[in-house]
């Protein structure tokens, strides 16, 4: 099974690299596969943004991930 994680694009750098925010982690990812602007959400899989999401979808999916992690800790 493959998992893609939602992240918000904070900055677009030279070489089609974006700085994204996963909520508690910021990381550089490749933006070669999507046309995206700062402030938009993307799904990230193995270091590549693979799909653009609406802000609502991104925040909702991020919340679901938080709930799953919290349940796993209990």
Identify the structural domains of the chain with CATH numbers, from first to last.
5-73 (2.30.30.140)
pTM, rounded to two decimals = 0.88
Phi-psi group of 64: left, alpha or beta (phi > 0 → left; psi -120 to 50 → alpha; rest → beta): alpha
Can you tell me the distance from the alpha carbon of 19 to that of 21, in angstroms, rounded to the nearest whole number? Answer: 7
Q: What digits encode the pLDDT tens for the residues 16-62?
A: 999 999 988 999 999 999 999 999 999 999 999 999 999 999 999 98
């Amino acid at each position: 099974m493959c998992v893609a994680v939602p992240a918000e694009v904070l900055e677009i750098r030279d070489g089609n690299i974006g700085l994204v925010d996963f909520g508690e982690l910021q990381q550089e990812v490749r933006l070669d596969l999507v046309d995206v602007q700062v402030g938009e959400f993307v799904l990230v899989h193995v270091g590549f943004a693979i799909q653009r999401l609406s802000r609502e979808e991104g925040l909702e999916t991020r919340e679901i991930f938080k709930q799953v992690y919290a349940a796993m800790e209990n």
